Structure 1
Amino acid sequence: MFHENFESSEFLSLIPAVFKAEMHFPACVEDYTGLNSHFQLIFRLSIVVIVVIEIVQLVIVLLIIGRLVLAPLALWTFLAHKFWTIWSSNDAVEKFLQAQQSLSPIRYAYTDIMAITRHFKEQLGRGGFGSVYKGELPGSHFVAVKLLSGNSKCHGDDFISEVSTIGRIHHLNVVRLVGFCSEGSKAALVYEYMPNKSLDKYIFSSNRYFSWQKLNTIALGVARGIDYLHRGCDMTILHFDIKPQNILLDQSFVPKVSDFGLAKLYPKEYNVVSASAARGTIGYIAPELVSRNFGIISHKSDVYSFGMLLIEMASGRRNVDTNADSSSQNYYPSLIYDKLGYKAEEEIKFESFEMNEVEKKLYLVGLWCIQIRPSDRPSMNQVVQIEGDTDHLELPPKPFFSWSSSISRTLHSDNTATTQLSVIDEDDSS
């Protein structure tokens, strides 16, 4: 290699000498051109020969430069391009795999659940289906781990099937399922952590926490989340347990529908849902979930629960007061209806206050949603489309309130407890 480079450099050093000799040759010939025509011909031929020689030399120089400079440069350029292409391809695949991993819930071992929660050190709450603990994933990502109780039916293949479907739900107003655990009798759900906890912590406080505009924004967010469950997924997801405790708030107080322990998935073409295992929370449960005489079970059952939620958000008090003496005092929506219709009886005493426009809208929409017959209720899509102008929002027919108040006095032992009701199946002939 060294010898080859030396010969190349030696050859290059001869080029200037040859060039000078070629340039002196026509000058010498030119001195004799005036003697005869024979020398003039030689002069012209010499010019042609010199031009050819110069062209050949230029080609040789370019070939040498191409070999010593351009070839390595082209090689390095090709290798750099090849490396960049491979790296970009791998990076795109890695990003895709990470995105897929973030879209799908992770299946954790029970030992992982124990590590995430630090052996269930910090309890966030307790419900009818288990306890919720605060956990931390690598990277300081906080999660809420719901450990299902032993008597929960959310186990086996049905549990995995529902988790895989709900785990792919990605909507601003639906809490994200990060992962799950199912090992024998042990089952857990890992959700994104909501630092501001649930809506009931704020709407039932003695001092109103949210402005009317913020309350309206929260209500609209909840409606969008439920509407997405009904229409935005491959299958219709019926929540069956819409209530303030199941509306979580993130760091910016954006509402997210949570707790799918009672949720059922049905193909969109199904208009009638089996009521053989319908459940809900007293005070929010739709009448058709109690008896088929009120109508069929459908997405309108969630609409009813949402209507009850709206009225509680507007009033700042629970709809059902088990300590009240009379049914009229026991069931607050009936008082609200009378106030909106200006048909209050003399014996009913209202607190004197002016009704805000947003408050009035929440009440009106809520009363439309809690109509006894499901066919009289709007869909969640219609609720979302209702604008802020309440002048064109009419007062709905007065719902039949007595069934709710009587059921609540009989069965409502705890406002926040979830109660399973025995429901008449649609297939029964009775």
Structure 2
Amino acid sequence: MACVSLFVFFLLSRLLLLHSAEEVNRTLPNCSSFQCGKLGIIGFPFTDSSHPLCGLLPVKCDEMPPTIQLGWSRGPYEVINISYTNTTLITRIKDLLLSDALITQKCESVTNFTLPNSPFISFKLTTPSQTLFKCNRTLGIASPRNFTRRNCGDYSLYYSHLNDDSQSFPAQCSIIQLPRKKHSDKDTLFSLLSAEFDLEVNVSEACSSCYGGGGHCELEQNGKFQCDIAKKVTWSQRRLKATVIATSSVGIGVLMVIICCFWGKFSLNKIINFWKKETLTHQDVEAFLRNHGPLVIRRYSYADIKTMTKSFNDKLGQGGYSNVYKGKLQDGCFVAVKVLKESKGNGDEFVNEVASISRTSHVNIVTLKGFCIEGSKRALIYEFMSNGSLEKFIYKGNPSNSNHQLGWETLYKISIGIARGLEYLHRGCNAQILHFDIKPHNILLDENFCPKISDFGLAKICPREKSFISMVSARGTIGYMAPEVFCRNFGGISHKSDVYSYGMMVLEMVGGRKNFDASVDFTSEIYFPHWIYKRLELGEELGLLGLLEKVDQENARKMIMVSLWCIQSDPSIRPSMSKVVNMLEGSLEPFKIPPKPFLCSPPSSPVDSSTIMV
């Protein structure tokens, strides 16, 4: 009986899918101009975000002001005005990330401005641009004539109010180009830049003709343009298609019944749940990708992933839900390819990672270069970080760091870089991003040991004005998880949960060991935060290796004091990440010893570093 029910369910589900496809075919050509808030009536290439197939640039008209997503590398942008002429489409938009950078005047938020292009749509910046040269401070470059230097931590920005880009800078310096004001009364860097600019939008003739004929512009797996006109098929074609699908469905269904009845190893409920799960997951992920408009980040096929990783030959590491491999793009650029395990079938981590990291652009956040979704196979392509994760450099006794012990100056700079990255996630984006898995394993280091926060699989996006968020289940890694995440009695979940994880991680950087270590000789040293707190309280020497220079001693003490404030069990006592940055970069004099932290890692799993989501 169960086998017959399975066959009937399979047949009806196939027919239902066919019917749904027919409904889509009948409604797709009904795309028209629409009212979009203060922008008035607009049309192709713009479309309402709820109808992504009707255009190339989805606009969220229900937001005040309306916003648009031009690509994944930056945005969204505020749409100020859209104007049509006989031959040209001009839109004036505001870069919200750059606007925040100009207000706070933090130069680490100033990153290169690029515009997405594809085979069927391109953008041209009609507003003047300002050229900046970003150079490492170690190069010791003197400011050329007509150039002004702004110091930004371990690097400097050089710019000219005359916008002179003819000067020769060393090859190690990178070039940043940003929109510039037409007129400015001052010559300071942030007074020259503008967050508002005009774009000329050009759609190819082939794509315009495609939409005019009721089709949809798409990219093939090789990156070339194609016009998908499957949405306008004739009735005879639909009837033939229905016949073929129905016939094949019956054949496959009969085969399933035979297998089921002979071996009896299939559970009807399991098959139904698996089919529903896989179908809905793929639809949800594809819908998410469509809603983000034309993609500046390339979509790769699974065959491309195998090619760039040489069939997954060079494994860099692994996590609870993924494996990471070293890869190489066709242009010779090395990348890290994160392949999600097939057992992680609900798509949550993939969508979380793309949704959160696509909103970021910061020197201390890893850059997403591409992605792959093909059936149940999903992969994310990131910039390659030559020094790997922070984890392998900080734990004494770890064979991988025997020849790479980091100095105190480097550790101090890494702690500040991570703090700036978290500050940006909490306050610098157009939406607040909570990471929920800050730990040494998720901090990557480039060739200059500049830290970049990675692995946004557990991240959560919430409005800036929202103080607390609700979560059905705990998420994070044992030993770094804030107490309020797994026990609501400690307070509400907020950005302060990341602050706690940051504090626990920096204490491990200082101690060169796990915070909870049952292998130490004395019981009093098992929980490092208690041990180091007692030394501070009694005014004793810190007892840390390598603290020879006075500046290193001060920096180590600042890292410890800040960390102890960050791991307070009461979230309201913990500082914000902005305050953390100020404390680390400031003087030791105003520091007060925080209350003694009384929580520790769960004794049932003292060395467990597995990520949980229960």
TM-score (ref. length: structure 1)? 0.68
Letter in 2 for 1:110: Y
State whether structure 2 residue 354 is matched by structure 1 residue 163.
yes
1:374 matched to which residue of 2? 571
Letter in 1 for 2:596: K
1:117 matched to which residue of 2? 309
1:273 matched to which residue of 2? 469
1:136 matched to which residue of 2? 328
Structure with greater strand percent: 2
Q: CA deviation at 1:203?
A: 1.3
Contact 1:196–1:250 under 8 Å retained in 2: yes
2: CA distance between counterparts of 1:171 and 1:146? Answer: 20
Q: CA deviation at 1:253?
A: 0.8
Contact 1:133–1:144 under 8 Å retained in 2: yes
Letter in 2 for 1:310: V
State whether structure 2 residue 489 is matched by structure 1 residue 296.
no
2: CA distance between counterparts of 1:350 and 1:383? Answer: 21
1: CA distance between counterparts of 2:345 and 2:500? Answer: 25
The structure whose RCO (Cα within 8 Å, separation 6+) is larger is 1
Q: CA deviation at 1:210?
A: 2.4
Q: Which consecutive unaligned segments of at least 5 residues does structure 1 have?
A: 1-93, 423-430
2:185 matched to which residue of 1? none
1:428 matched to which residue of 2? none
State whether structure 2 residue 416 is matched by structure 1 residue 223.
no
Q: CA deviation at 1:154?
A: 5.8
State whether structure 2 residue 474 is matched by structure 1 residue 306.
no
2: CA distance between counterparts of 1:338 and 1:380? Answer: 25
State whether structure 2 residue 340 is matched by structure 1 residue 148.
yes
2:431 matched to which residue of 1? 235
State whether structure 2 residue 605 is matched by structure 1 residue 399.
no
2: CA distance between counterparts of 1:161 and 1:242? Answer: 15
Q: CA deviation at 1:172?
A: 0.3
1: CA distance between counterparts of 2:316 and 2:351? Answer: 25
CA deviations on 1:276-304 (whole Å, 9 max, x unpaired) are: 13311111110001100011111000000
1: CA distance between counterparts of 2:396 and 2:524? Answer: 23
2:480 to 274, 278, 284: 284
State whether structure 2 residue 587 is matched by structure 1 residue 389.
yes
Q: CA deviation at 1:165?
A: 4.3
Q: CA deviation at 1:151?
A: 2.8
2:605 matched to which residue of 1? 411
2:244 matched to which residue of 1? none
Find the residue that maps to 1:333 and give its secondary structure.
helix
Contact 2:371–2:379 under 8 Å retained in 1: yes
Structure of higher CA gyration radius: 1
RMSD (Å) for aligned C-alpha atoms: 2.8
Identical amino acids, percent of aligned pairs: 48
Once the two structures are superposed, the pairs formed by residues 168-247 of structure 1 within 5 Å of their partners are 168-206=359-397, 209-247=405-443
State whether structure 2 residue 455 is matched by structure 1 residue 249.
no
Find the residue that maps to 1:261 and give its secondary structure.
coil
Contact 1:289–1:297 under 8 Å retained in 2: yes
2:536 to 335, 340, 355: 340
Q: CA deviation at 1:141?
A: 0.5
Contact 1:240–1:301 under 8 Å retained in 2: yes
Change in CA separation of 1:282 and 1:161 when aligned onto 2, cut-off 3 Å: closer
Contact 1:104–1:178 under 8 Å retained in 2: no
Find the residue that maps to 2:373 and give its secondary structure.
strand
1: CA distance between counterparts of 2:344 and 2:387? Answer: 27
2: CA distance between counterparts of 1:352 and 1:107? Answer: 48
Change in CA separation of 1:187 and 1:270 when aligned onto 2, cut-off 3 Å: same
Letter in 1 for 2:536: L
2: CA distance between counterparts of 1:193 and 1:337? Answer: 38
CA deviations on 1:46-86 (whole Å, 9 max, x unpaired) are: xxxxxxxxxxxxxxxxxxxxxxxxxxxxxxxxxxxxxxxxx
Change in CA separation of 1:390 and 1:138 when aligned onto 2, cut-off 3 Å: same
Contact 1:146–1:189 under 8 Å retained in 2: yes
2: CA distance between counterparts of 1:334 and 1:104? Answer: 49
Change in CA separation of 1:326 and 1:219 when aligned onto 2, cut-off 3 Å: same
Find the residue that maps to 1:181 and give its secondary structure.
strand
Find the residue that maps to 1:375 and give its secondary structure.
coil
Q: CA deviation at 1:96?
A: 5.7
Find the residue that maps to 1:356 and give its secondary structure.
helix
Q: Which consecutive unaligned segments of at least 5 residues does structure 2 have?
A: 1-113, 124-222, 224-293
1:41 matched to which residue of 2? none
2: CA distance between counterparts of 1:95 and 1:162? Answer: 22
State whether structure 2 residue 562 is matched by structure 1 residue 365.
yes
2: CA distance between counterparts of 1:290 and 1:174? Answer: 27
2: CA distance between counterparts of 1:356 and 1:276? Answer: 43
Contact 1:132–1:146 under 8 Å retained in 2: yes
Change in CA separation of 1:253 and 1:103 when aligned onto 2, cut-off 3 Å: farther
State whether structure 2 residue 121 is matched by structure 1 residue 97.
no
2: CA distance between counterparts of 1:140 and 1:151? Answer: 32
Structure with greater helix percent: 1
Q: CA deviation at 1:134?
A: 0.6
Find the residue that maps to 1:335 and give its secondary structure.
helix
Change in CA separation of 1:197 and 1:233 when aligned onto 2, cut-off 3 Å: same
Q: CA deviation at 1:162?
A: 5.0
State whether structure 2 residue 523 is matched by structure 1 residue 330.
no
